[in-house]
Structure 1
Amino acid sequence: MHEMSVALSVVDQVEQAARPGGARGVRRVTVEIGELAGVVPDALAFCFELACAGTLLEGAELVTRSVPGRAACAPCGRAWDTGMPPDMICAGCRGGATGLLSGRDLRITEVHWSALPTAPDPTPVPRHQEN
């Protein structure tokens, strides 16, 4: 199942983003999944939980948002939802010269960190003065 490789990639990318900022954990990751991407959201959620074990993301929630497949006809300019399985024939001119506008997406759109390091106190620390 390729959902495991997708989950491992998401965990890796989020961990790489967390290091420079000093994040100590992740509460939630939101991923957009295109209708035509071939990724099953429930299978991804299962794999994500396994992939997070022992990482900065352990216990993080995965939120998935579906992106509909959309196509456009080059000759007449009409756009439509492709559905699944995708309908790539233009209903306006019955032409087959179409381009895919969306639906193959697979993108991390949000990460909610559970804790960030606190900024140092800007108040100077008084030095001990000798008399």
Structure 2
Amino acid sequence: MHEMSIALAVVGQVEDAARAAGRTGVDTVTLRVGELAGVVPDSLHFCFDLACEGTLAAGARLVTERVPGRARCGGCAGEWPTGLPPQLCCPRCGAAAAGLLSGRELEIAAVSWSGPPAPEAGRPPEPAGVPHEER
């Protein structure tokens, strides 16, 4: 099940981004998943929940956005939805697809953080309601 390795990689990247942004938690991770990427969304959701345990992303929700497959014809330059199983010959002229335009995506589209930002290292957190200039 390669969905677990994908989930672990996503959680690792999200944790790195959280630390770089000085964040203490993750609320939601949105992934764009192409229909031709060979990923089973239900399995990915299950694996993501397991991969988040004990990390900054613990309790985070995974949202997947499906990206339909589209191809372009090498003969007439027409475009069509590939579907599954993918139709890789042009429905208009019968020529082979020159390439896929979409459908293989597997990318982090957005992350929403939870909780307050982490205090800067070596500096105590600022008291609530007291602007920096007044201290």
- With normalisation by structure 2, the TM-score equals 0.88
RMSD of equivalent CA atoms: 1.4
SS of alignment partner, residue 99 of structure 2: strand
Q: How far is 1:74 from its partner? A: 2.2
Q: 2:7, 2:71 → 1: CA distance? A: 27
Higher-Rg member (1/2): 1
Deviation string, structure 1 residues 85-127 (Cα, Å, up to 9, x no partner): 00000011111142111101001001000023278533232xx
Tell me the equivalent position of 2:21. 21
Q: 2:71·2:97 contact (CA, 8 Å) conserved in 1?
A: no
Q: 1:21·1:116 contact (CA, 8 Å) conserved in 2?
A: no
Q: 1:88, 1:95 → 2: CA distance? A: 9
Deviation string, structure 1 residues 48-84 (Cα, Å, up to 9, x no partner): 0000000000000000010001000122110000000
Q: How far is 1:20 from its partner? A: 1.6
Q: 1:55, 1:11 → 2: CA distance? A: 8
The answer to whether structure 1 residue 57 and structure 2 residue 57 are counterparts is yes
**One-letter code of the match for 2:10?**
V
Aligned length, in residue pairs: 125
Q: 1:20, 1:98 → 2: CA distance? A: 40
SS of alignment partner, residue 72 of structure 2: strand
Label 1:97 to 1:50 Cα distance change in 2 as closer, same or farther (>3 A): closer
- With normalisation by structure 1, the TM-score equals 0.90
Structure 1 unaligned spans of 5+: 126-131
